[in-house]
Amino acid sequence: MEGDEFMSDWSARNGYPGGDNEEKCNFCGCKYRVQYSLQDGHNEREEYYCPDCGKEYGVRASLTPTVTKISGRTDNRDVKYIEGE
């Protein structure tokens, strides 16, 4: 399939949109949007952080994801997330 070969070659050399998700932090309740791109052969675990408490999350992507805050935390606290707490 010529068309498929062209697409796989193209996607190995160019990034393309991999996801656009609305997520909610399970530590503080902050809502945020995560956008990331993919590129064949370059995808690995990339970290991103909750914009309010800093909790680390990960997604398979080619570049560090862009996080846009949608709404603030809902836990009425002011603490940062501490790993293992």
Tell me the DSSP string of 10-48.
HHHHS-EEEEEEEEE-TTT--EEEEEEEE-TT--EEEEE
Q: How far is the CB of 85 from Zn ion (least distance, A)?
A: 12
53 binds Zn ion (CB under 5 A): yes
61 binds Zn ion (CB under 5 A): no
Instruction: Give the span between the Cα atoms of 31 and 42, in whole angstroms.
Output: 28
51 binds Zn ion (CB under 5 A): no
48 binds Zn ion (CB under 5 A): no
Q: Which residues bind Zn ion (CB under 5 A)?
A: 25, 27-28, 30, 50, 52-53, 55
